[in-house]
Amino acid sequence: MTYSQGSLIEASDYNGFVNVTSDANVNDIYATGSGNKGYGQTPLSTVAPGSTVTATQWASLVNTLTTLGNHQGTSITARTAPVTGDLIQILADINTDLTTLNTNRNNAAASGTEVGTFTGTTSKTSATGSGTSAWTITFTHTVTFGSAAEARYFFNAGGLIRLQFGKTSTGTDADDEWNDLANTLCGDIFLSGTAASHTIAGTPYTGTTKIGGTGTPTTLNTAIGFYDLQTTDTTLYKQFADTPPYTTQFIEVKAKVNSAHPNSTVITFTTVWTDPGGSGAGSSDNISGGTATSSPSTTITGTAPTTLVTYRPPSTTYLTNSWGTPAVAASVA
């Protein structure tokens, strides 16, 4: 029987909303789901064919729809959850709301508290280069999740990974321009889950997103989010300096996963600071080291060349933590 005003509410109607209807059911978005669907929450149970759908079951459906709307910041139809003893009425516009919640599934009204804990070294404290010779600093960061499912839930529910660049040490000809490149031109680079446009805590994201910074990057790969990463490196971002004779020096970020989706548990970011040398008479390409940024920190606090990787987990205002605690490890060469 068709679910409509005046009809008998059947188990198949309820089950369709909860777990059956393709691309528009609660458990796809709220529970395990697959790919970029699923927040990892406890799924709603279905009803055996021919059984009565209880007020408690309808209340669970209504309350979960409200939770999804609140987490995403999606406006849905206002409903009052029935209680035992109520006459169960047809609830209008459930399919419409489920379609909207599915469309907005990668939105999040808020983020959790940013985490800046890491192991290893994220700053190059010793000087780099000699005269006008070429050099490269390579920063490697891994972000490791407890399982592939936890990685999915992290990004699906609004998690973000943030890369920051910084250097303020002085003393050589090239220091000032490297300080400008790292601190002023680059801004912050965020990796979100999907290349499709979505909004987290009021800010729009599309795959790899640059926030702040006055420079115009050579590469900003907005078409690459977590789900688009491969097992070989993809360039996410590349920014050149803007003042002669140092306009050939650059900061570049590449990323890859350890296993093809849906089995990815580790993201590796490789950030290279490159000076091809040859700045010319009266200049030099060597730069100073400085003091390190130590864990935990969500901002760059030292003076040395630094690439800092932190993450913003999903908000737990409406969801429980199903994504665990990702581990960040850093090294510099």
pLDDT at 22: 66
- Length of the chain in terms of residues written: 333
pLDDT of 280: 79
pTM of the model: 0.94
Residue 188 sits in the same domain as residue 319: yes
Cis bond before residue 217 (omega within 30° of 0)? no
Q: Quick one: 78 and 178 in the same domain? A: no
Domain assignment present for residue 3? The answer is no
Provide the domain limits for residue 278. 119-332
| 25 and 164, same domain (yes or no) | no
Rounded CA gap, 44 and 19, in Å?
8
> Would you state the pLDDT for residue 81?
82
The total number of structural domains in the chain stands at 2
Of 48, 317, 22, nearest to 57 (Cα)?
A: 48
| Residue pair 180/213 in contact by the 8 Å Cβ criterion | no
**Same domain for 174 and 223:** yes
User: Could you give the CA distance from residue 120 to residue 108 in angstroms, rounded to a whole number?
Assistant: 31
Co-location of 25 and 124 in the same domain: no
pLDDT of residue 88: 60
With respect to residue 200, please indicate whether it lies within any of the assigned structural domains: yes
Please report the pLDDT score of residue 89 as a whole number: 60
Instruction: Please indicate, yes or no, if residue 112 is contained in any of the structural domains.
Output: no
Maximum alpha-carbon separation in the chain: 88
Task: Point out the domain boundary residue: 69, 103, 137.
Answer: 103
DSSP string, 107-154: -BS-B---B---EE--B--S-B--TT--EEEEEEEEEE-SSHHHHHHH
* pLDDT tens digits in sequence order for the chain, 333 residues long: 355 444 456 788 889 899 876 667 999 999 999 999 999 999 999 998 888 888 888 899 999 999 999 999 999 999 888 777 665 665 678 989 999 999 999 999 999 999 999 999 999 999 999 999 999 999 999 999 999 999 999 999 999 999 999 999 999 999 999 999 999 999 999 999 999 999 999 999 999 999 999 999 999 999 999 999 999 999 999 999 999 999 999 999 999 999 999 999 999 999 999 999 988 767 899 999 999 999 999 999 999 999 999 999 999 999 999 999 999 999 999
Domain boundary among 55, 71, 103: 103
Sheet hosting strand 327-332, strand order edge to edge = 119-120, 327-332, 135-144, 266-275, 250-257, 234-240, 219-220
The pLDDT score that the predictor gives to residue 187 is: 97
- Residue 1 lies inside a defined structural domain of this protein: no
Same domain, 241 and 325: yes
Q: Rounded distance, CA 73 to CA 96, Å?
A: 16
Kindly state whether residues 199 and 274 are assigned to the same domain. Answer: yes
Buried b or exposed e, range 156-188, using 16+ CB within 10 angstroms = bbbbbbbbbbbbbbeebbbbebbbbbbbebbbe
Shared domain for 291 and 237, answered yes or no, is: yes
The residue out of 77, 103, 129 marking a domain boundary is 103
Instruction: Specify if 264 maps to a domain.
Output: yes
Same-domain status, 98 and 70:
yes
Is position 257 within any domain?
yes
Which pLDDT does position 93 carry in this prediction?
A: 87
Judge if 65 and 162 occupy the same domain: no
Residue 33 lies in a domain: yes
- The CB-side HSE value for 67 (13 A sphere, CA atoms) comes to 23
What pLDDT does residue 19 have?
87
Please indicate, yes or no, whether residues 319 and 182 belong to a single structural domain of this protein. Answer: yes
Which residue, among 69, 20, 284, has the nearest Cα to 177 in the 3D structure? Answer: 284
Read off the tokens for 86.
């109520």
CA distance 171 to 173: 7
b/e string for 100-126 if b means 16 or more Cβ within 10 A? bbbebbbbbbbbbeebbebeebbbbbe
The answer to the question of residue 4 being in a domain is no
Q: Are residues 190 and 290 in the same domain?
A: yes
First-to-last CA distance in the chain?
67
